[in-house]
Structure 1
Amino acid sequence: MTGSVTRVPLTARGAEKLRDELKELKSVQRPAVIKAIAEARAHGDLKENAEYHAARDQQSFIEGRIGELEAKLSNSQIIDPTKANANGRVIFGATVDLEDANSGEALTYQIVGEDEADIKAGRISVQSPIARALIGKEEGDVVDVVVPGGTRELEIVEVRYL
């Protein structure tokens, strides 16, 4: 089996957010936990030193997260929807204004990568049922989306590339 790497789509904002977290972990949190471990060691017996064990656990978490972020960033494909020639089609990174055909409810979602998804902020994962139903469609199209509460009929009112 070959070791092909799956490229993970990210918006420029999502990549920047991951880079900021990585910088914080490496330049602030990692040095702080190393200092905490050194201070806890100075207190003597490590077997019953709760501060030492807590600091080691925190260090393990930080190192794991650093590795995870570095892997995500190295395997990412940053997609800028403003540079895509999508001609009004829904693509990764697009912001889509929708209207529920039954209730008239207006919805706005940006289609983003898995790590960027935040439903409260209107960012949905490209893997979500709504995003999968929208990809490739155009303004004026109506899509049926199966969601946990049943099926929603959504009309694409506008597609924007911000």
Structure 2
Amino acid sequence: MDMRTRINDAIKQAMKDKAATRLSTLRLVNAAIKDQDIAARMQDGDDGVGDAEVLAILSKMTKQRQESARAYEEGGRLDLAEREREEIEIIAEFLPRQLSEQEAEDAVREAVARTDAETIRDMGKVMADLKAQYGGQMDFGKVGAKVKLLLSGK
């Protein structure tokens, strides 16, 4: 079952269950996907985004909510921070399992070996390989630092 279908089924179930927070979060996800569909159609004339793009949208939404929760905590708004965390949990249901720290390091080493990367100039090849292999399974911001460290020889 593709991601879109899973999300739409979850929306229908949330309506039946009268789960307001879940429903509103899933509707936000659906709206973000439709926005990307429109942008893709305008650019390429495609039918819309596929599962890989949906995973990227979900990852981005999760990261945004993590940053918001941190900001709310710093501002003393614990109620809003908790709501952001609830939304993160709902969105995370549709993301693949995140790699552990050790698994991410192993994946970086394998990608460097697969792409025959030797210098920092090869970082783009390594990152592209990682995104193709592990899309949605790791935080590429953190992984980029690991790749850079490995390729710089330190």
TM-score w.r.t. length of structure 1: 0.29
Identify the structure with the greater helix proportion: 2
Structure whose residues are more often strand by fraction: 1
**Radius of gyration: which is bigger?**
1
